[in-house]
Amino acid sequence: MLRSVFNNGRGISLVTTPQIANLLARQTEFSSVGSDTPLSRISRRGVTQHTTSQSKSIRATQPIQQGQLVMVNKAVLLVHPSYWNISWPQREEITRLAISRLPGGTQKAILNLSSPPDQINLYLSYIVWAHAGFPMVIRDQKHNVLFTGISLINHSCAPNSHNRVESISFSGVVTAARDIQEGEEITISYWVDSDHSMHLRSFVERQQYIERNGRFRCECAYCEQGKAKDEILGSLLDQQKSLQQKLESSSIAGSDLPAAFKLEKLYHSLGLEILMNVPYNIIAKTYSAMGREKLASVWLERAANILALSGVETPQQQHGVDAS
């Protein structure tokens, strides 16, 4: 199914069941011509594509502050989970059909995702396999979406930006998790959903996981340091475990507050701001145990904000719940 007027004429192709395609077609966002939401107006501000013969990346063209929007994109292709179970030739045929019906500019932008660019005879299904790792849950089915901009952002095991997919608006949203310098590469986590815990694994465990799941080889700045950060990670995990045990046994007290703030510092020193909801929650619960409810709610709100930026969608935010 195709909607070529979607997103100011950039179009979107849906490879899914007729039932889900009909459900999506009824969404206001999908059926409105040339929708111009506030989000799309500020998309791609302050970043640019950086291309070498080896790789592509997105870099900041100006300093970006923590919490600022880095990029907003609307999906150009959505694929049903069964897409991954069909044979390669069939998948290639379907992908070619889905992409061929998109407007020319969008087709070009999809080809631009491949590295090296402009390869003749390139498998389009390979581009989808390599770049459509963004999940969008529709009727409890984990679809994947492809973006032309956000799909160019590389993974880091300690990324400087949050990324989330808003299924209601078909948008991907990237927000700075910490201050980003001019010229710095924008990075996000490809370990979405439950795999987010992979950021707290040792260098060797991360590499093994990446090898097993094999969509890419991680050459992020964090991994380039090899095992150097494993020791700090070890103290972070020890500190966190001890605090969580105290929380579970309701023995946490004001004397644990310095340890809770130390945990927050350890997250910062590893560049794991995308997971900062964990120490924030522990700080909140420690304040709560001390009877300081106002401070507790401030830290709880901070934790909730981090989760929102990471795209933890509530069932109400997902497609199809109202219609089922």
Q: Taking the complex as a whole, how short is the minimal distance between the CB of residue 10 and Zn ion, in angstroms? A: 31
Smallest distance, Å, CB 311 to Zn ion? 20
Question: How many residues sit close enough to Zn ion to count as binding (CB under 5 A)?
Answer: 4
Residue among 171 and 187 whose Cβ is closer to Zn ion: 187
Q: Which is nearer to Zn ion, 223 or 270 (CB)?
A: 223
Q: Is 233 in the site for Zn ion (CB under 5 A)?
A: no
Identify which of residues 131 and 285 has a Cβ nearer to Zn ion in the complex. 131
Q: CA distances (Å), 262 to each of 259, 274, 294, in order?
A: 5, 17, 21
Q: Enter the tokens of residue 84.
A: 């991954």
Q: Which of residues 81-140 bind Zn ion (CB under 5 A)?
A: none
CA 40 to chain centre: 18
Site for Zn ion in 196-225 (CB under 5 A): 218, 220, 223
Rounded-to-integer distance, Cα 160 and Cα 178, Å:
6
- Residue 157 found at the interface with Zn ion (CB under 5 A): yes
Distance from C-alpha of 94 to C-alpha of 106, rounded to nearest angstrom: 17
Our finding on whether 70 is near Zn ion (CB under 5 A) is: no
Stretch that binds Zn ion, among 1-9, 15-23, 126-134, 156-164 (CB under 5 A): 156-164
Q: Which is nearer to Zn ion, 205 or 238 (CB)?
A: 205
291: left (phi over 0), alpha (psi -120 to 50) or beta: left
- Measured between alpha carbons, how far is 307 from 164 in angstroms, rounded to an integer? 10
| Cβ density class 82-92: b for 16+ within 10 Å, e for less | ebeeeeeeebb
Look up residue 228 and give its amino acid: A
Residues that bind Zn ion (CB under 5 A): 157, 218, 220, 223
